Amino acid sequence: MANLDTQGLKVPSEGGGTITPVSREIHTDREEDHSDNHILPGPIYDLERHDSHLSRVRSIKQSLGQRPECFKNTLQEVSFVGQAAIAMSTTTFIVGASSIVTASIGRDLGMTQAEISWIAAASTLTAGAFQLALGQLADLLGRKLVFLVGTGSFAVFVLLLGFARNPFWMDIVLGVIGIAGAMVVPPAGGILGAAYGRPSKRKNLAFSAFSAGNPVGFVLGSITCGIATRLFNWRAAFYFIAMLWAVFFLHALWAVPEVEAFDHGEPLKKRLSIFFKRFDTVGAILTLFGTGMFTAGITLGPSDGWKSPVTLCLMIIGIVLVVMFGFWETKYPYPLMPPFIWKDRNFTLLMAVTVLGFMAFQAAAFYLAYFMQEIRQWDALTVAVHLLPQAVAGLLWNVLIGHTLHKVNNTLIMGAGALSYLAANLLLSLMHAESSYWAFMFPALILNVVGADFQFNVANMYVMQSLPPQQQGLASGVMNTLIRLSSTVSMGIATAVFSSVEISPQGMEQPMLKYTRTFQVSVALAAASVLVVPFIRVGTQGHIENDDETQAITTEKKVAQQAVTTDTKGH
């Protein structure tokens, strides 16, 4: 055969005539694919290959949704979601770390049982009290700025924990750490809510990872503290955590995008002026002192007496301040907790179930770790290892919920979570001092984190859809405030029960009894949440809306078809 004339369409053949070559691509395809007797014309073959590529693109986009524009690339997106999960774990991480060394800290610093309980309660109290205020601050001054300040402050004050010399130092610094923790959760949630504005599987996965920080943070904090304590002592654990958060701070400088609720052209001075005009100072004070005084009252009751003037005054004033907070929020034009969100029946019921569940979770988690130290006499690392299944299960359950939130009725998910809480705490309440870990504690850890992950994901997704984009930081703060404050109250109730049984004649004879009664408190809270679930009416959430993606792909396909048609005419 004569050589092809690359400039013309016709080339001489060996028989003297001329032939019109289809294309070089088809000639190559003919030589490579000997099994195919029918050779498609080049332009049609190219179109089919292009259609196949578009189908794959459509499939990926429909399954995940588009990457938010605020992220430069997928690496930054994944990095930020991980950073957001770390932010969510900030408070629970330090609670988990301190929980497995409460016995050691208590002995070294000469702490009473009430003071020991404040190791867990102090940070959750201040985190809850300041969560809404700092969410408002983040929306007005800048989410990234507040996030960075909170992360850096957390590292500094955790370092100070390692130098604690008395109970007052320990509990006060933990309270300040709670404020630092409250500075990172609203901005992280606000950025996620604003970035993933449209429902999609990508959004579900991002929020499930964000939600994993709460339960998983407790266990990872325990493991970190356990290893450091085994190698050195409990003070070294806090030094290491401080260094770890310093690394997270440096990572956040790059990973956290600037997704703000204000106009970037608006000067800082004006935003500061707006913040001080709108900031609900009265609401923040009422929340902090109301919850704090009530919790202090119920923790002092067993030791000082329930009828003592101090106990009664603290409890009564605390309740009055909380009621005043509720009234104030209906009158103030820029409330920390917008009253209109409570008009949504499902929102109110979801919050009730989630709060009751986390109250059960917090009390059980703290006193289970204390049981392992005091009754089983396990050291910090052994305790951490035995809590590890909870972290692993938490990650797995969050992956599952991220893939099913938009497919399974969310009321059923809430019900499954509530029943898991109930089953977990029933197992703990039936446990004896020498009961098998694998028969009681192991399944309880797995089931407890089912409840936490399932309920938090459903409720968090609903909350983030209840407020407009410019208030996403506040929306994230609403739910976390309720969880933190209620967890503080549940710790107070559990401590009151624990201390009351401990000093009773029966409690002195049976060291396990005080733990059993404390776990029964969690059973009651979990059972109450189960009773509320049937009244919730929430279907699936996070449906994939891909109209824009489909339109874009259709347009791209039309352009490709026109290009191929032009190419065909040219040949």
Q: How high does pLDDT run on average in the chain?
A: 81
HEC readout, 234-271: HHHHHHHHHHHHHHHHHHHHHHCCCCCCCCCCCCHHHH
Final residue before a domain boundary, out of 301, 333, 365: 333
* CA neighbor of 146 nearest in space, from 132, 128, 134, 131: 134
Beta bridge partners of 2: none
Given pLDDT bands bounded at 50, 70 and 90, which one contains residue 246? very high
Q: Has residue 44 got a pLDDT over 60? A: no
How far is it, in rounded angstroms, from Cα 200 to Cα 461?
12
| pLDDT, greater one: 477 or 406 | 406
Residues 524-546 pLDDT 10s? 999 999 999 999 988 887 665 44
User: Identity (one letter) of the amino acid at 173?
Assistant: V
CB-based contact 101:380 (threshold 8 Å)? yes
Q: What is the 8-class DSSP label of residue 471? A: G
Q: Has residue 318 got a pLDDT over 70? A: yes
Q: How large is the angle between the packed helices 90-99 and 234-255, nearest 10 degrees? A: 170
Q: What is the 8-class DSSP label of residue 305? A: -
Whether 218 is in a domain gets the answer: yes
Q: Let me know whether 322 and 379 are in one domain.
A: no
Q: Has residue 89 got a pLDDT over 50? A: yes
Q: Let me know whether 329 and 346 are in one domain.
A: no
* CA neighbor of 130 nearest in space, from 141, 119, 122: 122
CB-based contact 32:25 (threshold 8 Å)? no
> Quick one: pLDDT at residue 374?
92
* CA neighbor of 90 nearest in space, from 194, 202, 1, 174: 174
H/E segment holding residue 457: helix 442-464
Whether 212 is in a domain gets the answer: yes
How far is it, in rounded angstroms, from Cα 332 to Cα 329?
5
How far is it, in rounded angstroms, from Cα 522 to Cα 359?
7
How far is it, in rounded angstroms, from Cα 161 to Cα 176?
11
Q: Has residue 413 got a pLDDT over 90? A: yes
Q: Let me know whether 290 and 407 are in one domain.
A: no
Say what the alpha-carbon torsion angle 94, 106, 110, 512 is, to the nearest 10 degrees.
150
> Quick one: pLDDT at residue 435?
95
Beta bridge partners of 101: none
CB-based contact 302:311 (threshold 8 Å)? no
> Quick one: pLDDT at residue 523?
98
Q: Has residue 60 got a pLDDT over 60? A: no
User: Identity (one letter) of the amino acid at 127?
Assistant: A
Domain count, the chain: 2
Whether 55 is in a domain gets the answer: no
Q: Let me know whether 329 and 262 are in one domain.
A: no
Given pLDDT bands bounded at 50, 70 and 90, which one contains residue 568? very low
Tokens of 494: 């559990």
Q: What are phi and psi of 39, to 5 degrees?
A: -100, 120
Ranges 80-84, 108-112, 131-135, 485-489: which has the least confidence: 131-135
> Quick one: pLDDT at residue 58?
55
- Tokens 């098998």 correspond to 436
Final residue before a domain boundary, out of 289, 312, 333: 333
CB-based contact 47:25 (threshold 8 Å)? no
- Tokens 């950073």 correspond to 83
How far is it, in rounded angstroms, from Cα 320 to Cα 286?
9
Whether 344 is in a domain gets the answer: yes
Tokens of 286: 């009422």
Whether 304 is in a domain gets the answer: yes
Q: What percent of the chain has pLDDT over 70?
A: 80
Instruction: Give every CB contact of residue 478 below 8 A, 6+ residues apart in sequence.
Output: 132, 135, 337, 341, 463, 467
* CA neighbor of 429 nearest in space, from 523, 339, 510, 345: 523
Q: Let me know whether 267 and 297 are in one domain.
A: no
> Quick one: pLDDT at residue 51?
56
Instruction: Give every CB contact of residue 153 below 8 A, 6+ residues apart in sequence.
Output: 179, 180, 183
| pLDDT, greater one: 303 or 460 | 460
Residue-wise burial string across 23-51, b where 16 or more C-beta atoms lie within 10 A, e elsewhere: eeebeebeeeeeeeeeeeebbebbbeebe
Given pLDDT bands bounded at 50, 70 and 90, which one contains residue 154? very high
Q: Has residue 247 got a pLDDT over 50? A: yes
Q: Let me know whether 478 and 519 are in one domain.
A: yes
Helix (H, G, I), strand (E, B) or coil at 77: helix
pTM, full prediction? 0.74
- Tokens 């001092």 correspond to 433
* CA neighbor of 185 nearest in space, from 542, 484, 396: 484
Whether 565 is in a domain gets the answer: no
How far is it, in rounded angstroms, from Cα 303 to Cα 311?
10
State which residues form the domain around 128.
74-279+334-547
> Quick one: pLDDT at residue 269?
81
Q: Let me know whether 271 and 298 are in one domain.
A: no
State the CB neighbour count (10 A cutoff) for residue 510. 14
Chain centroid offset of residue 104 CA: 30
Q: Has residue 65 got a pLDDT over 80? A: no
Whether 320 is in a domain gets the answer: yes
Helix, strand, coil in percent for the chain, rounding step 5 = 80, 0, 20
Mean pLDDT of 253-264: 81
> Quick one: pLDDT at residue 428?
98
State the CB neighbour count (10 A cutoff) for residue 440. 18
Q: Let me know whether 92 and 138 are in one domain.
A: yes
* CA neighbor of 547 nearest in space, from 206, 66, 72: 66
> Quick one: pLDDT at residue 42?
55
Given pLDDT bands bounded at 50, 70 and 90, which one contains residue 562? very low
> Quick one: pLDDT at residue 343?
82
Q: Let me know whether 512 and 532 are in one domain.
A: yes
| pLDDT, greater one: 348 or 54 | 348
> Quick one: pLDDT at residue 26?
41
Q: Has residue 234 got a pLDDT over 80? A: yes
Whether 254 is in a domain gets the answer: yes
How far is it, in rounded angstroms, from Cα 512 to Cα 181?
34
Four-residue CA torsion sign, 113, 114, 115, 119: positive
Given pLDDT bands bounded at 50, 70 and 90, which one contains residue 563? very low
Cα dist from 65 to 59, 258, 435, 451, 551, whole Å = 10, 21, 48, 28, 13
Residues 455-492 pLDDT 10s? 988 988 887 666 666 555 566 667 778 888 888 889 88
> Quick one: pLDDT at residue 548?
45
| pLDDT, greater one: 390 or 478 | 390
Q: Let me know whether 316 and 350 are in one domain.
A: no
> Quick one: pLDDT at residue 526?
97
The CATH number linked to 183 is 1.20.1250.20
Residues 208-221 pLDDT 10s? 888 778 777 877 88
* CA neighbor of 127 nearest in space, from 509, 502, 480: 480
Given pLDDT bands bounded at 50, 70 and 90, which one contains residue 556? very low
Q: Let me know whether 396 and 463 are in one domain.
A: yes
- Tokens 């909380």 correspond to 322
Q: Has residue 338 got a pLDDT over 60? A: yes
Q: Let me know whether 353 and 297 are in one domain.
A: no
* 492 class by beta-carbon count within 10 Å (0-12 exposed, 13-18 middle, 19+ buried): buried
User: Identity (one letter) of the amino acid at 205?
Assistant: L
State the CB neighbour count (10 A cutoff) for residue 336. 28
